[in-house]
Structure 1
Amino acid sequence: MTSGTYPFEAVRDHLTELYSRLSTARDVHHRRELLDEFFLVDPSCTTLIEGTSVTPVVADGIESRWVVAPGCDTANRLLYIHGGSWCSGNTAAYQYVCSHISESTGCAVLAIDYKLAPEYKYPEGLNDCVKAYNWLCKNGPEGEAVCKSVFISGDSAGGNLTLATYLRLRAQEKDGHAIRKPNGLMPVSAVTDWTQQGESFKSRAAVDPILQEASLPKLHPVYGIGEFAGPAVDSKLGLKDPCVSPLFGDYSQSPPLFIMVGDYEVLLDDSVVLAKMAKEQGADVQIKVYNKGVHVFIGFAPYLPEAVEAIQDMGEFVRKHQSA
């Protein structure tokens, strides 16, 4: 950070420069390399909370990492689903923010490397999230163990998958399968509406340094949705299939929702409209719009004050809704 530059300005400038390089990425592999730099604005963003343990584990066939900060009750668990446009991102880059989440919530965090597009198109990544959630309900960092409370969180594409995982579980329950209902869902900067009806795609275009209205349509063939959809997407619903666009889901019996989004995101309305709709359906919904929050702002903890605030808010939400 240059002398006199505030954290927000440094993050904004970093993401603006990254966006310029992403726009000329050669292929998905190059894009993945670039997005691995997303949080590299300050060394503090890639530093674990002191005493945090990071343990590789295979969760029902899915490469994952347990991230456990000191003092956690490992019977309280949180599935974290990373962002990266469904085609990039990994637990190595996210273990740092997960250590902050673990410290704040008191939960053992399971970060998962779900299958990525385009090698694995929809719904392969979602299937992994559901499998990991079910595994998490039966296994902790020490092995098979009773789970008192379980939460799901994720950012961007992972925020989408956070909601889609619940909706898939709910659909399985309706089909007669026994499921364990999460204690709460915490989507961050989530993509909820692939039809892109939100006004914020235009109203926030000038202040969002990393996403624009044209960003999502480019991902249709990558993720395997829209006109590129396979048989797993309801052909009558298309982009309004709830597990593709969770905005169109049924939250009438959902666990409590804590929706977090930045004011400087073109995806702002994806969260605001979801919160309004879920409340109308009877869900227990809390939404917070963070001042000057950019896309996936929580990953810049502890450097960015808004990120610290959001992670503290996650801790309060978890303590409020965890099982006794």
Structure 2
Amino acid sequence: MIWFLTALIIAIIGITLLLRGKSLAYLDSEPLTPAEHNPSPAHREALRMIREMNRAGKGLRGRERLNAMRAFMDSMSDGLALVSEFRPAQPETAPRGEWVIAPNARPSRRILYIHGGAWMAGSPRSHRAITDRLSQLANACVFAVDYRLMPEHRYRDGLRDCQSAYQWLLGNGPDGPATAEFMAVAGDSAGGNHTLSLIAWIKEQHLQQPDAAVALSPSTDLTFTAPSLRNNVKTDPLLGPAFRPLTRLPLPLLWWGTFLFFRMSPSNPLLSPLRADLSGLPPTLIHVSDSEMLVDDARRYTHKARAAGSPVELRIWPGMFHVWHIFTPWLPEADDAMKEIGDFLNRSEQLEAQ
């Protein structure tokens, strides 16, 4: 009996270490102190909307809480002065999603956009502010994929939807079959996680690489070992209230919980793209705020990718909140960030043409 218990304990410890994976603390640099900044007058209104989002499911539990959060996120595009045409994809020939086509967009220029929402909420509708502005600034037709969400589906199902959508977009535009002359992948938060996982998968499958990738406040490592996940919990108005209880749990419990929820080890590169081979990736731009919980996720990814020779640019914005881009164009800081993304995509196309 003693030998059995000893073996069981050793097995549990061994599996726990496998769930954690290799320590990546060597990628950390000096802790960031949020920089002084002068927020725009609209910044206060954005913070008010974030507080409303955090209260959307207050007092509710389970499915009711999730549905309330999903409904609130979808309502964020209501009343916006959008200029693009929003065209539903034809389900018999295309992945689920919608085309976002600005008046100046060229069908041969395409962007696959992967929305955020903790893999459980969000939709093409909830992120129309971003996709509308992206189509305008990049002169591209944006396909916002409506990937399968948890918990109704597995994490891997949503990622497969993104993989299928990318392959389909290479040969299909908004008007039917046609080759893409310029192809990019972009996403925010959980969608940024899918974006970074996707570009690593594309390389491994020897598929045509995108000309560029953009990840906004991405989650890169589900082992939750980056220092800012705890250091910035009080300065992150969006993620802090929701994830503060989790930061108080011992890491082994988080690793096992992640394994059970995602049905995948938190150290699996499909779930934690930071742990993939980051060599040979396309030009990639990462945006993150110095005061959000995921800033060290982005810094670790950038350090490792650059060391592997991949052209990754990291832009750390002062005093913003998680995925502030969703308040474009009425929040000046968000529109400035979107313009920088447009410049990056246009610059990537010029480099590809040389």
Per the normalisation by structure 2, the TM-score is 0.79
| TM-superposed deviation, 1:171 | 2.5
For 2:174, which of 138, 141, 144 is the aligned residue? 141
Change (3 A) 1:149 1:67: same
CA distance in 1, matches of 2:78, 2:159: 32
| TM-superposed deviation, 1:228 | 4.3
Pairwise mapping of residues 231-310 of structure 1 onto structure 2 (< 5 A)?
233=264, 238-310=265-337
* Per-residue CA distance 1:167-204 (angstroms, 9 max, x = gap): 2222323xxxxx11011110101111111122212322
Change (3 A) 1:258 1:99: same
SS in 1 for 2:202: helix
For 1:6, which of 41, 48, 62 is the aligned residue? 41
| TM-superposed deviation, 1:214 | 4.2
> Percent identical across equivalent pairs?
30
SS in 2 for 1:93: coil
| TM-superposed deviation, 1:31 | 2.1
**Matched residues, number:** 303
Q: List alignment gaps of at least 5 residues for structure 1.
A: 174-178
SS in 1 for 2:183: strand
For 1:72, which of 105, 119, 122 is the aligned residue? 105
CA distance in 2, matches of 1:38, 1:94: 8
| TM-superposed deviation, 1:35 | 4.1
CA distance in 2, matches of 1:104, 1:25: 40
* Per-residue CA distance 1:271-324 (angstroms, 9 max, x = gap): 111111111111101111122221111110012112101110111111111244
CA distance in 1, matches of 2:77, 2:183: 31
SS in 2 for 1:119: coil
SS in 2 for 1:259: strand
1:84 matches 2:112 = no
| TM-superposed deviation, 1:96 | 2.8
Q: 2:36 maps to what in 1? A: none
Amino acid at match of 1:188: L
CA distance in 2, matches of 1:253, 1:70: 34
CA distance in 1, matches of 2:236, 2:74: 16
Q: Relative to total residues, which structure has the larger helix share, 1 or 2? A: 2
Change (3 A) 1:42 1:168: closer
The 4+ residue runs of structure 1 with deviation greater than 4 A are 38-44, 213-218
CA distance in 2, matches of 1:292, 1:24: 30
Contact in 1 for aligned 2:129/2:327 (Cα 8 Å): no
SS in 1 for 2:239: coil
Q: 2:229 maps to what in 1? A: 201
Q: 1:47 maps to what in 2? A: 81
Q: List alignment gaps of at least 5 residues for structure 2.
A: 1-39
SS in 1 for 2:229: helix
| TM-superposed deviation, 1:120 | 0.6
CA distance in 1, matches of 2:67, 2:287: 25
Amino acid at match of 1:287: L
**Root mean square deviation of aligned Cα:** 2.5
SS in 2 for 1:54: strand
